[in-house]
């Protein structure tokens, strides 16, 4: 397929997402099944165009003064990919399989490209209804924070220290030109190509051998800040596919015991193969038949409960840009309820002097600081571990990190703009003796 044909296909897929209100991944898969002539490179390029358009949907529509799929895709080429009017005109020239030729008005809009007068939610490319929430968290910087959340995410990897040394893995992946991440001592970062195509990391021998896992740097830091130690009894209460469980196992050097639990057995399914590949031997997977049904025997036994809490996922928009446009106000209220429930559940599992690591991939105050304050109100025997103390796990990097991140009385907030990571919140809650 020509670049112009790929653009036309991306407009078609975007229209399907809009009209049928379906996830981008589903729409792209359906398009691929009905257009068998498109090769893997074509499908990847089309997906890149669609996801970039979702990233810059609001600002692209603003500069084009239209919110049609065509307008958003054309605006994205200017806003995200930096193409000039001539380059865009060559893609939309009305030739066979190409989008229709640019109109005079479209040319005028693309030449102007001015969002200085745009509201914060437009400049930041997030839904208008979320603006009061972003203002509570970020104040006057909300447009900049939103724009950073709309950027492309790199591919972050965690070196599995149970299997290999950092230098060994970096050498094994040298063909991908990986760079050490800024904060995590376990992290390597691979920059994506201009068309947003991600390398086939799952085909790399280092990955197959369990020497490396895909994990955003913020998620690595969340595991690190939990302070898990060799020999402890730990439960990953919302383990999902097991990314943080694997990081904890490496931190604990396979000593002690980790229980990986999730109320949804489907989310847990990938963890079994990942554990085998990683060499983690101190993990028990608990797959409950009912909520809490398979962990009752752990009550009062845990040194650490890690809660990767259900949340809106606003901090992970770089990796899932269509999620922000599908999010509805009721989702936030539901997630807050679930977070309170899982925090209260964690209390029953702790030893008298145990601790809870509360983690979200959200940037919203309602899910982070406010949730911690509400928990402390219900549980006065707990106190927040000073964030400045928690970050000491980074050693010599701690001071610079503490200046970059947002440290509050409740915890640590990371964002793409501040720390170059996904948006994550971490609070360490310690129970008094």
User: Quick check: 206 and 174 in contact, CB under 8 A?
Assistant: no
User: Quick check: 60 and 70 in contact, CB under 8 A?
Assistant: no
CB burial of residue 338 (10 Å; 0-12, 13-18, 19+) = middle
User: String of b and e for 377-411 (b: at least 16 CB within 10 Å)?
Assistant: eebeebebbebeebbebbeeebeebbebbbbbebb
User: String of b and e for 296-310 (b: at least 16 CB within 10 Å)?
Assistant: eebeeebbbbbbbbb
302-308 and 233-236 beta bridge pairing:
parallel
133/142 Cα distance (integer angstroms): 9
427/360 Cα distance (integer angstroms): 9
User: Quick check: 370 and 427 in contact, CB under 8 A?
Assistant: no
User: Quick check: 129 and 329 in contact, CB under 8 A?
Assistant: yes
Which letter does DSSP use for residue 420 in this model? S
**3-state secondary structure (DSSP) of residue 270:** coil
Spatial CB neighbours of 201, under 8 Å, sequence gap ≥ 6: 155, 157, 176, 190, 207, 212, 214
107 in active site: no
CA distances from 24 to 28, 30, 322, 326 (A): 6, 10, 7, 10
Residues acting as catalytic residues:
361
């Amino acid at each position: 397929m020509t670049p112009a044909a790929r653009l036309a296909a991306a407009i078609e897929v975007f229209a399907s997402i809009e009209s049928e209100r379906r996830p981008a991944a589903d729409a792209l898969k359906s398009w691929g099944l009905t257009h068998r002539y498109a090769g893997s490179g074509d499908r990847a390029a089309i997906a890149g165009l669609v996801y970039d358009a979702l990233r810059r949907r609001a600002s692209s529509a603003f500069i084009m003064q239209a919110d049609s799929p065509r307008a958003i895709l054309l605006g994205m080429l200017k806003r995200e990919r930096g193409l000039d009017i001539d380059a865009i005109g060559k893609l939309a020239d009305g030739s066979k399989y190409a989008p229709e030729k640019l109109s005079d008005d479209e040319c005028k809009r693309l030449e102007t490209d001015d969002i200085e007068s745009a509201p914060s939610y437009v400049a930041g490319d997030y839904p208008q209804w979320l603006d009061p929430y972003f203002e509570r968290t970020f104040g006057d910087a909300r447009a900049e924070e939103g724009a950073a959340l709309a950027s492309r995410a790199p591919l972050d990897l965690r070196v599995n220290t149970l299997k290999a040394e950092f230098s060994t893995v970096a050498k094994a992946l040298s063909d991908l030109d990986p760079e050490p991440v800024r904060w995590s001592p376990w992290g390597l970062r691979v920059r994506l190509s201009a068309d947003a195509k991600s390398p086939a990391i799952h085909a790399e021998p280092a990955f197959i051998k369990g020497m490396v896992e895909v994990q955003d740097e913020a998620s690595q830091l969340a595991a690190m800040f939990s302070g898990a130690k060799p020999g402890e009894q730990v439960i990953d209460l919302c383990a999902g596919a097991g990314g943080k469980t694997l990081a904890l196992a490496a931190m604990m050097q396979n000593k002690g015991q980790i229980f990986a639990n999730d109320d949804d057995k489907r989310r847990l399914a990938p963890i079994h193969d990942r554990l085998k590949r990683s060499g983690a031997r101190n993990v028990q997977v608990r797959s409950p038949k009912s909520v809490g049904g398979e962990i009752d025997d752990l009550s009062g036994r845990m040194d650490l409960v890690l809660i990767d809490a259900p949340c809106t996922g606003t901090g992970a928009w770089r990796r899932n840009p269509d999620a922000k446009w599908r999010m509805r106000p009721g989702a936030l209220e539901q997630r807050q309820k679930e977070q309170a429930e899982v925090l209260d559940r964690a209390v029953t599992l702790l030893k008298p002097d145990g601790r809870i690591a509360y983690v979200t991939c959200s940037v919203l105050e309602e899910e982070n600081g406010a949730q911690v304050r509400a928990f402390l109100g219900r549980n006065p025997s707990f106190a927040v571990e000073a964030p400045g103390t928690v970050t000491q796990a980074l050693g010599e990097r701690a001071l610079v990190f503490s200046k970059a991140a947002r440290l509050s009385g409740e915890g640590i907030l990371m964002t793409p703009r501040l720390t170059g990571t996904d948006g994550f919140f971490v609070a360490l809650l310690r129970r008094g003796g």
